[in-house]
Amino acid sequence: MARPKEFDVDHALREAMNVFWSNGYKATSLGDLTRAMRISKSSMYETFGSKHDLFLATIEHYIRTQTTQISGAAHIDAPAVKVIRALFHRAVQRMAEPNSRRGCYLNNCAVEVSVRDGEAGERVEKGLDMMEEAFVELVARGQREGDIATHHDPRPMARFLVSSLNGILVMGKAHADTDKLNDVVDITMNALA
């Protein structure tokens, strides 16, 4: 009865996220966005409301697609420590690829806007909590299976891991030296034993 939407909303959201992810919120103009989304300005406003609304939507999109990947890793059938180490190593590796040197989207948002932009802050916090939860599961399993020490409860341990991962990604933004970052990974893993 009516003309259907021609572009994939989720795909457009993904592209918008990538631009914000690489350039930050303030440094991204509407032109940058619509160019990447391959959409006219009018369509963008009709579909998402405003630049800021779009921004919030990209954070939720990130949580929906990326953060849940980490949760998924928690159920891989391998020793928990191995899974955690693999997650960290992949993060380090990403920072070495020039096109992927943009860290964690939640991390970037937390630093750039979280304090001043409450709406974004809420979402960032929720995303980090989900990461924490995924690591809680992993640590608990590792402790049950005996390859993670039981000096600490799973939750503080998980917080330590989330924090450490974010620290590594920040360092990577300045250094991009894989060896130096792996130094940090090694000691972090050592802290689990």
Partner DNA sequence: AGCATTCTGAACCATTCCGTCCAGAATATA
Partner DNA sequence: TATATTCTGGACGGAATGGTTCAGAATGCT
187 near DNA, judged by CB under 7 A: no
Which amino acid, residue 77?
D
> ∠27-128-101 over CA atoms, to 5°?
45
> Among residue numbers 33 through 92, which ones bind its own copies (CB under 8 A)?
none
For the CB of residue 71, give the shortest distance to its own copies in the complex, in Å: 18
With residue 14 as reference, give the H or E element that holds it.
helix 9-23
In Å, how far are 130, 176, 193 from 20, measured between CA atoms?
21, 20, 38
**Largest CA-CA distance found in the chain, in angstroms, rounded:** 64
Residue 125 makes contact with its own copies by CB under 8 A: yes
Q: Pick the stretch among 56-64, 68-76, 84-92, 122-130 that binds its own copies (CB under 8 A).
A: 122-130
Quick one: 40 or 163, whose CB is closer to its own copies? 163
What's the min distance (Å) between Cβ of 28 and DNA? 6
Binders in 3-62 for DNA, by CB under 7 A = 3-7, 28-32, 38-43, 45-47, 50-52
64 binds, among its own copies, DNA, none (CB under 5 to 8 A by kind): none
The backbone torsions φ and ψ at residue 12, rounded to the nearest 5 degrees and listed phi first, read: -60, -40
Q: What's the chain's length in residues?
A: 193
| Rounded least distance, CB 52 to its own copies, Å | 13
DSSP state of 24: -
CA distance 33 to 38: 8
Least separation in angstroms between residue 20's CB and DNA is 11
Q: Checking phi first, is residue 49 left (phi over 0); if not, alpha (psi -120 to 50) or beta?
A: left
Q: Which residues bind its own copies (CB under 8 A)?
A: 23-24, 26-27, 101-103, 106-108, 110-112, 114-116, 121, 124-125, 128, 151-152, 155-157, 159-160, 162-168, 170-171, 173-175, 180-181, 183-184, 186-188, 190-191
